[in-house]
Every structure is written in C-alpha cells, then in structure tokens.
Amino acid sequence: MADPVPFYLPWLFGLAGRISPHRAARVMAAMVSRPRGRNPTQAWELVPGLESPEIELRPGLFARSWGESGPLVIALHGWRGRPTQFGPLAVALVGRGFRTIALDLPG
C-alpha cells in the first residue's frame, strides 16, 4: 500500500506555490518522479503451481520470469506497481506456450 500523504504537505506546497511557484513545482516533480522503495507482493498475486523467480538484471533492477520456452512476452507494470501483478496473466500465457518476463523498473 502506498504511503499516505502527510497532513501538512498540501498546505506546505500551497504556501510554497504562492511564494515561489517555479521552485515548488520543481520540488513536487522531483518528489513524484522518484518513488521510495518497492511495494510488497499482495496475496492475490501469488499464483499457486507456477513459481516466478526474481532475477536481478543489474544492481537495483529486478524482473520476474514465468515459463521456460516459447515466444517471449515482456510485461511492464504501472506507477508503484509490481511485476508479481502479472502472475495470473503469466499463468494463462504459459498455458498457451509463451514465456513472460515482467520488469520491475523504478516507479
């Protein structure tokens, strides 16, 4: 679950936006474009019967993989999503002869 917005943040950015709108916009853009941490996997994402090992492509860049052979489907989650969200879809794709790799990119 995403972190809640602190109660004072809207007030603070409202004030900063009146004093220095360009600087407040730059700070807000920096805050929303750099998410903190990784979201935990939810129970509904764990598909029984088909494991999805986590692969570290390079330090800090991860992916999940389903299936061993067949045409490759690359999946990319949305903002603050997780590659494990593709578990149910990946199971269906593996059943049809595809393999799936879900990237876990920042954001």
Instruction: Identify residue 51 by its one-letter amino acid code.
Output: E
Using only C-alpha atoms, the chain has a radius of gyration, in whole angstroms, of 19
CB-neighbour burial class of residue 86 (10 A; exposed 0-12, middle 13-18, buried 19+): buried
The whole-angstrom separation of Cα 66 and Cα 46 is: 12
pLDDT of residue 85: 85
Residue identified by tokens 């853009």 is 29
Provide the whole-model pTM: 0.61
Q: What is the pLDDT of residue 55?
A: 86
Of 92, 97, 98, 102, give the one whose Cα is nearest residue 61.
102
Residue predicted with more confidence, 90 or 47: 90
43-64 residue pLDDT tens: 777 767 667 888 888 887 889 8
Assign 3-state DSSP to the chain and report helix, strand, coil percentages, each to 5.
35, 20, 45
Q: For residue range 22-40, list pLDDT tens digits in order.
A: 998 998 888 777 766 667 7
